[in-house]
Amino acid sequence: MSSPASGKPLQALLQEASVHLQQRSFDSAQALLDEAARLAPHLRDVQMLQAILAVQTRQAEKAENIFNGILQINPSDVDALANLGFLLLQAERSKEARALLERAIQLQPRHAGLHLNLGVALEALGHTQDALQSYQRSLALDPKDAQTHFAIGKLLQRRQDYQGAFASYQRALSLNPHHADALSSLLFTHHYLEDFSPLVNSAWARRLSPSSGLARARSASRGALKPLLRVGFVSADLREHPVGFFLEATLAQLDRSRLSLFAYSNNIFEDEVSEKLRPHFAQWRVIESLNDQDAAALIEQDQIDVLIDLSGYTAGHRQSLFSLHPAPLQISWLGYFSTTGQPAIDYVLADPVSVPPQEENLFAEKVWRMPSIRYCFTPPENAPETSKAPATERGHITFGSFQTLQKINNRVLRVWAEILKRAPKAQLRIQSTQFDLPLPRSEFESRLTTCGIPLERVHLAAGQSRADYLAAYQEVDLILDTFPYPGGTTTVEALWMGVPTLTLALPGMLGRQGQSIMAAAGLTDWAAGSEADYVAQAIHWAQSAAENPLELAQLRSGLREQVQGSPLFNAARFARDFEQAIEGMWQGTSAPGAVTQNPNSSK
CATH code at 391-564 = 3.40.50.2000
Domain ranges of the chain: 10-194, 219-376+581-596, 391-564
Residue 590 exposed, middle or buried by CB count within 10 Å (0-12, 13-18, 19+): middle
What pLDDT shows up at residue 216?
A: 44
Report, as an integer, the average pLDDT of 407-419. 97
Q: Is residue 445 scored above 50 in pLDDT?
A: yes
Q: Is residue 454 scored above 90 in pLDDT?
A: yes
The superfamily in CATH containing domain 10-194 is Tetratricopeptide repeat domain (1.25.40.10)
CATH code at 219-376+581-596 = 3.40.50.11380
pLDDT digits (tens, 9 = 90+) for 239-280: 999 999 999 999 999 999 999 999 999 999 999 999 999 999
pLDDT digits (tens, 9 = 90+) for 188-217: 999 999 999 999 999 999 987 766 444 444
> 564-570: long-range contacts at Cβ-Cβ below 8 A with a sequence spacing of 24 or more?
564/379, 566/520, 566/521, 566/522, 567/371, 567/372, 567/373, 567/376, 567/520, 568/373, 568/376, 568/377, 568/492, 568/495, 568/517, 568/520, 568/521, 569/249, 569/376, 569/377, 569/379, 569/496, 570/376
Whether 219-376+581-596 and 391-564 share one fold: the answer is yes
CA 176, CA 167: separation in Å to the nearest integer? Answer: 14
Cβ(352)–Cβ(321) below 8 Å:
no
What pLDDT shows up at residue 212?
A: 44
Beta strands in 26-155 (DSSP E): none
Count Cα atoms within 13 angstroms, Cβ side, for 176.
17
Other Cβ atoms closer than 10 A to 129: 9
Q: Is residue 418 scored above 70 in pLDDT?
A: yes
Residue 46 or 534, more confident: 534
Report, as an integer, the average pLDDT of 110-134. 96
Q: How far apart are the first and last CA of the chain?
A: 58
- What predicted TM-score, i.e. pTM, was given to this entire model? 0.85
Burial 405-435 (b: 16+ CB within 10 A, else e): bbbbbebbbebbbbbbeebeebbbbbbbebb
Q: Is residue 514 scored above 80 in pLDDT?
A: yes
Pairing of strands 527-528, 229-235: unpaired
